[in-house]
Amino acid sequence: MLGLTALLTASVFFGAAIYITWAEQPARLHLDDRAALVQWVPSYRRGFEMQATLALVSGLFGAGAWGQTGNVLWGLGAAIIILNWPYTLLFVMPVNRQLEAVRPDDAGPESRDLLGLWGRLHAGRSALGGLAAAIFLVAAGLE
């Protein structure tokens, strides 16, 4: 049961991340500079809370499944989903801080470039979530 919960939460993480990467971010970039920035701020804050929690919970359940079954794939999936935390802190958060420092009336080409960079970095989070979910799926299939 621990492994299936790890798979479920990693899959929800991946679904949310890929939605942002493939739908929300491209739509945001079609807005004018000010509107794109204004939309990004609350969207990111809400998404961060959800995705950070999902990554942590999935990692804990994956580690628990590894301990319970001895199947190293559960541990590998757990490590990969947890990698979202250092990846976000090291690469995404510096861009977040720069974006959060821009006042909406000062939005322009620089903030748009930062939003583009943020989207590319977020795609890395999507990839980590998808990889973890795939590994968990294989591990579940071997049970």
pLDDT band at 23 (very low <50, low <70, confident <90, very high): very high
Two tokens, residue 113: 């470039």
Number of domains in the chain: 1
pLDDT confidence of 136, banded at 50, 70, 90? Answer: very high
Helix ranges restricted to H, 70-108: 72-82, 84-87, 93-101
Q: Which range marks the domain in which residue 13 is found?
A: 2-141
Residues 122, 109: Cα–Cα separation, whole Å: 20
> In angstroms, rounded to a whole number, what is the distance separating the alpha carbons of residues 136 and 140?
6
pTM: 0.94
